[in-house]
Amino acid sequence: MELISQIIIAIGSLLKIIDDHYDMKLFTETIANIAQISIVILSIYLFTQDKAFTLMTMLTCIYVLCAEGQMEDSDGKTVKFYYIFNAITLAFFLYHMTQSGYGEILNSLSTLEIVRIILFGLFIYYENKMIPEDISKRKIIIRILITLLAVGYIYYESQMEEKTLIIRDVYLLAIGYMGTSVIDMLYVLYQKNQPDRAV
């Protein structure tokens, strides 16, 4: 797997670590800060290397901004990092737009890829609405299926000569995000099932 693909997966994983820190207080402040710094550095690198990733990230930021409660922690407090990251993404998005634009990428999108992007976005939206809890067995199952679907698609596309642009990055991000989500939920459930240990 090429370096850019590995970095996108890592960004998805780091993003979930940050989310779970603010949503479930699963990670320490130190780990969350390291994840935030890492995701900014890796994203800036990709923004300079991959316009498709920049466009995909901008679309994701717009979705997150519009989704209820996605910019807040479990206590309802605003998470400044999310706004900072959105601002960085917007800056690079506008930079690419003023330079060479996104015409080449948009013109290369097939109808099938556009449909895949829309369907995946709708699926994630309704998954979040229908399974709003942070941790549950059904959420684990759904996210395992999403991860396997994403891995299967990336493998399938690796065997094809013609490559997609946006949806490929979406699935790579999903592998990191959803895979880490499954691991985090399994860890929490495991900890809950452990008997209290005497001090």
What pLDDT is stored for residue 175 in this prediction?
96
Q: Which long-range contacts (CB under 8 A, 24 or more apart) does 111-116 make?
A: 113/164, 113/165, 113/166, 113/167, 116/164, 116/167
pTM of the model: 0.90
Q: Which two tokens stand for residue 9?
A: 């997966």
- Provide the pLDDT confidence category of residue 148 given band limits of 50, 70 and 90: very high
Q: pLDDT-derived band of residue 132, with 50, 70 and 90 as boundaries?
A: confident
- Residue spans of the domains in the chain: they are 3-192
Q: How many CB atoms lie within 10 A of CB 110?
A: 12
